[in-house]
A and B are shown apart, each in its own frame.
Chain A
Amino acid sequence: MDKRSYKYIGRNVTRFDAVDKVRGRFPYLADEPFPNALFGAVLFSPHANAVVKKIDVSEASRIEGVEILTYLDAPNARYNGSEWFPGQDDYPDETVLTGHARHVGDRIALVMADTEEKARKARDLVRVEYEILPAVTLPETAADMAGMLHEDGVKSFDGSICYGDLEKAFSSAAYIESDTVTTPKIHHAAMETHSVLAIPRGDVLEVRTPCQITFGVQYSIAQVLDMPLSKIRVIKANMGGTFGGKQEVVFEVLCAWAANRLKRPVFINTTREETILSTRTRAAVKGKVETALDADGTILGRSFELIVDAGAYLTGTKKVMMAMGKKASRLYRIPALSYKGSVVRTSTTPAGACRGYGSPQIHTITEIHTDLMCRRLGFDPVQFRLKNLLGEFEEDPSGGANIGKARVIECLSRGAAAFGWEENKAPKVSGGRFFTATGFACCTHGNGYYKTKYHDFSNMSLRLLEDGSAILRASIHELGSGATTALAQIVGEVTGIDVSKITVTEADTQFTSYDSGCQASRVIYVCGECARLVSEAAVKMLTQEASKLLDRPVRFYEGGLVCEGKKLDLGAAVREIMEKRRVSIEVNFEHRPESNPASFGVHFAEVTVDKLTGLVKVNRYLAIHDIGQAINESFVRGQIYGGIQMGIGMALSEELPFDSMGIPRVRNFDKYHLVNAPDMPDPEIILIEDNEPGGPFGAKSIGEISTVPVSAAIVNAVNRALGSSLTDLPLTPAKVVEAARNMGE
């Protein structure tokens, strides 16, 4: 089909919830108090590693109407909140409440009252005596101290990926180059803090949560409450941002357990400090990468050794670490590879899923290394990459899915031309202290779970209603990216139904069918394709039924029903079929993808470094992405701009440091520096839309990949500006000043 004739695909349809959101009438959980609900204030540990010796709730419980549940009341069942399906082998080391606090912000008790004020006041009256143990703050020594933090004594959670003859690659190499790069622990900073509501209703426990995987929440709760999955109803609530921070289960199990026990609705809401200290973070990584090259700069082999900081509980960090390894062979042609990762637990806020699921970390490590290696060896960084990047439909030697219709080479060459790389690659100095230079980085990310250890499918049904409108019953989680509207555009394109007449549901485990969740960059490629296929099936059913009704062939042509040259009204056809043939037009479809191609992107940044203050200003920016096809171009741009905002923060200013006692130095945004409007460039965006097979109308993912190459592009630009080899992120002013001082030495 000619792209220009699309009615909805690629068009900037307004997102369904935009009007409510600009009116301030889009209710998040905290905006709609639930009748008779108790407000739950969690009592968080002020210590990094401490065992509770005594807990005294007497004073707090004297306040009328206060209910208190402590770790002494809580079930011992251990779970891992990153698991979203039974049988995933993520090590369970978390309980709903604990008498051994393993980080500042660990959950000791839940204090509930009819108002937030009362609950918080009562919470502050609970007296706890702790025996303080040594904090485990350094990933390097965490394995040796493991027994102090977790009674299980597990030192680390290791994993590896290996293929090819690495020994030969390294022994025959003309050059062997290595670098060590450190990426920081980061706060997701969704503007809405974490909250959850649990409502006991007869034998069903209802949980409303702004989450990414309702079926995963359901499963986590079932592990602790010992209830059948069918009796736990999880409803996706309106969400004020996530970025992976609300992907894993954090307060849901605690809230569900408390509500079930008290037989009353319980609502847990958190402050920013509580969300920063007690939820999830992006895992900090220290990675050593070593590359073997032949004399012309062709990669022969690469090895990695990583240490990944899970924080106080394992969470999904081992999954993240393995996902990082899985990305290592999907950007450049690497004939032999060894990837070794070690995940350790420290007495700091737990890590977990975060936009890109390890991709930003691994590509930051390899892309900074690639630039430094090129500089040391005298290779041009563009030419070096062009020589080694993957071409279309290459296989992933690690056993992952075929790379698909890769357009990364086009991204790089078109981007280099558009950004004026050749003209701008030499750093410029002005006023003796301002150094301006350009950097760039390439990256890849996935499109679902096909050919990984996890299953991937989406099940939806589409009903065409008797007035010609449609409802797509789908387990979608709208994260703010516009996914529900994009899916409606797909349905509208196939059925010809006006998008304004299409409703797309969000996940409700009681009414919508199974879906692997809004994670793994699978929503457009997998769920979107499911929406397309279910729409085609509905159209097929409609034409068949209409043909039987009229006893003449009815076809679907150019977005409408046609019978012997005459257009039929879709609503009238549905009505008559229902009335006369006693059949409703509803189909159910399950899509199980058999491909999982790579998305690609290359970002270019021009920065000016002030040698005196160490401040880095991003002047110009270009993001070029291989996305197959934009379903809604404006949504795609929005994802990319937001991804750049996050990536600049990771490169320059965002980090969650802890002191040697494990006390967090950051508790709110006063000390956590997010990129604001004055610091954000106006990026230029180029989309390469070359139709990826297996995606709806050729579309593939953008939301996660858009943040993946940013940090490396910025760091590479700073390193070119100063001639430095900075590899310890974020590049705070102090580090930049120090590097500038060493210039030319």
Chain B
Amino acid sequence: MHIRLAMIVGVMFLKIELKINGKFRTAEVSASERLIDVLRQKFGLVSVKEGCGAGECGACTVIMDGEAVCSCVVPAFQADGHDILTVEGLEENGELDVIQQSFIDCDAVQCGFCTPGMIMSAKALLMKNPCPSREEIRTALAGNICRCTGYVQIIDAVETTAARIGVCRR
């Protein structure tokens, strides 16, 4: 950790450096700020949603160093030196990631509020396990609540993504 401290009008700020969606960024954060606040407010990454603020719904899920984390329970300063991926970072040259396309094709989106977090949890799973079983998908999404879809089409979308990536031989 190479955190620099700074005092601005009596509040302690920490200067952090981190990689967000492939780009190096810096931010000054207070000790009480959460990663979700920094992503939404400082970097405008509003795909990161707040559903509970308590690590219980997964709406705020981002990928940190390859792991899905709830950004509402990660203090911002802890992201210093880490690599963060949000839904905004999935597109390449304006083309959707195969997981995004699969969510569309499988109709895995209703109100859409859980969708970015759901996609990031599923993405983290597929990065580690490109051929998950339906049960493994369910387990990986256990921390992401969706009130609209009953998960079925979301699980279909993750299976479809795996099939489209094409490493699976089943």
Residues of A whose CB lies within 8 Å of any CB of B are 12, 14-15, 17-28, 30-32, 188-193, 239-241, 243, 271-272, 479-482, 634-635, 637-638, 640-646, 668-670, 674, 676-678, 680, 682-683
B residues in contact with A28, CB < 8 Å: 49, 113
What residues on A are CB-neighbors of B38 within 8 Å? Answer: none
* A32: chain B residues within 8 A (beta carbon): 46
Can you pick out 25 interface pairs between chain A and chain B where the beta carbons lie within 8 Å of each other?
Answer: A18-B103, A18-B104, A18-B107, A18-B109, A22-B87, A25-B47, A28-B49, A28-B113, A32-B46, A189-B145, A190-B111, A191-B51, A191-B145, A191-B146, A240-B49, A272-B57, A481-B110, A642-B146, A645-B147, A645-B151, A668-B54, A669-B54, A676-B151, A677-B138, A678-B135
| Nearest Cβ on chain A to B15's Cβ, whole angstroms | 19
Known: A21-B112, A641-B152. A272 touches B54 (CB 8 A): yes
Q: What 1/0 flags go to B127-142 for Cβ under 8 Å of A?
A: 0000000110111011
Flag whether B56 is at the interface (Cβ < 8 A): yes
Residues of B within 8 A of A19 (CB): 96, 104
Contact residues in A for B143 (Cβ distance below 8 Å) = 676
In the complex, chain B residues whose CB is within 8 Å of the CB of A20: 112
Interface of A is mostly: loop
Q: Which of B56, B101, B142 contacts A668 (CB 8 A)?
A: B56
Please determine whether A638 and B56 come into contact, CB atoms closer than 8 angstroms. Answer: no
Q: Which residues of B contact A642 (CB under 8 A)?
A: 110, 146-150
Q: Known: A24-B47, A678-B138. Contact between A646 and B147, CB under 8 A?
A: yes
List A contacts of B110 (CB < 8 A): 241, 480-482, 638, 642
Residues of B49-99 at the interface with A, using a CB-CB cut-off of 8 Å, are 49-54, 56-57, 59, 86-88, 91, 96
Q: How far is B59's CA from A193's CA once the two chains are assembled, in angstroms? A: 12
Q: Which chain B residues border A26 with CB–CB below 8 Å?
A: 112
Given A241-B111, A243-B147, residue A22 in contact with residue B119 (CB < 8 A): yes
Cα A42 to Cα B51 in complex, Å, equals 18
Contact B112 A240 (CB under 8 A): yes
Q: Is the CB of B47 within 8 A of A12?
A: no
Chain B residue total in the interface (Cβ 8 A): 54
- Answer yes or no: B153 CB below 8 A from chain A CBs: yes
Task: Give the contacting residue for B150; candidates A18, A24, A644, A670; CB below 8 A.
Answer: A644
- From B111, B114, B137, B155, A479 is in contact (CB under 8 Å) with B111
* B104–A272 CB distance below 8 A: no
Collect the chain A residues with CB atoms within 8 Å of residue B114's CB: 191
- Are B152 and A674 in contact (CB-based, < 8 A)? no
> Complex: how many Å from CA A43 to CA B112?
30
Task: Identify A680's interface contact among B52, B107, B116, B152, CB under 8 A.
Answer: B152
Q: Which A-B residue pairs are the 5 nearest by beta carbons?
A: A24-B47, A480-B111, A641-B150, A240-B113, A21-B112
Residue of A nearest to B55 (CB): A670
Question: Is A677 a contact partner of B155 (Cβ separation < 8 A)?
Answer: yes
What residue in chain A is nearest B120 (Cβ atoms)?
A: A24
Kindly provide the distance from the CB of A13 to the nearest chain B CB, expressed in whole angstroms: 10
Report B-chain residues with C-beta under 8 Å of the C-beta of A479: 111
Name the CB-closest residue of B to A646: B147
Nearest Cβ on chain A to B10's Cβ, whole angstroms? 14
Within the complex, the shortest CB–CB distance from A711 to chain B, in Å, comes to 15
Closest to A680 in B: B151
A682:B152 contact, CB within 8 angstroms = yes
CB-contact partner of B139 in A192, A243, A678, under 8 A = A678
Contacting B103 at CB < 8 Å: which of A22, A192, A193, A240? A22
A272-B112 contact, Cβ under 8 Å, with A18-B104, A191-B57, A638-B149: no
List residues of chain B with CB under 8 Å of any chain A CB. Answer: 40, 45-54, 56-57, 59, 86-88, 91, 96, 100-101, 103-105, 107, 109-116, 119, 134-135, 137-139, 141-155
The residue on B at minimum CB distance from A271 is B53
Give chain A residues whose Cβ lies under 8 Å from the Cβ of B139.
677-678
Q: Cβ of B145 and Cβ of A674 under 8 Å apart?
A: yes
Known: A192-B113, A240-B49, A272-B53. A15 touches B142 (CB 8 A): no
Chain A: minimal CB distance from B48 (Å): 8
Q: Which of B45, B107, B149 lies in contact with A15, CB distance below 8 A? A: B107
Contacts of B112 in A (CB 8 A): 17, 20-22, 26, 240, 480
| Cβ–Cβ < 8 Å partners of B116 in chain A | 22, 24
**Least Cβ distance of B63 to chain A in Å?**
13
Contact partner of A191 among B86, B113, B138, CB < 8 A? B113
**Contact between chains at B87 and A23 (CB < 8 Å):** yes
Shortest beta-carbon distance, B132 to chain A, in Å? Answer: 12
Chain A contacts for B150, CB-based, 8 A: 638, 640-645, 680, 683
> In the complex the two chains form, what is the Cα distance from A642 to B149 in whole Å?
4
B49: chain A residues at CB < 8 Å are: 28, 191-192, 240
How far, in whole Å, are A23 and B105 apart by their CA atoms in the complex?
14
Decide: B151 and A240 in contact? CB cutoff 8 A.
no
CB distance from A183 to the nearest CB of B (A): 19
Min CB gap B30→A, angstroms: 9
A634 touches B107 (CB 8 A): yes
A28 to B103 alpha-carbon distance, docked (Å):
19
Q: In the complex, which residues of chain A have a beta carbon less than 8 angstroms from the beta carbon of B144?
A: 676-677
In the complex, chain A residues whose CB is within 8 Å of the CB of B53: 271-272, 668
User: Which chain B residue has the least Cβ–Cβ distance from A24?
Assistant: B47
Q: What distance in Å separates the Cβ of B136 from its nearest Cβ neighbour in chain A?
A: 10
Cα-based distance from A668 to B103 in the complex (angstroms): 28
Contact check: which of B46, B51, B107, B141 meets A635 at CB < 8 Å? Answer: B107
Shortest beta-carbon distance, A89 to chain B, in Å?
32
Contact B96 A14 (CB under 8 A): no
A14–B104 CB distance below 8 A? yes
The answer to whether A240 and B52 have CB atoms under 8 Å apart is: no
Query: Chain B residues near A645 (CB, 8 Å)?
Result: 146-147, 149-151
A677 near B100 with CB under 8 A, answer no
For residue B43, give the distance in angstroms from its CB to the closest CB of chain A. 12
Residues of B within 8 A of A668 (CB): 52-54, 56
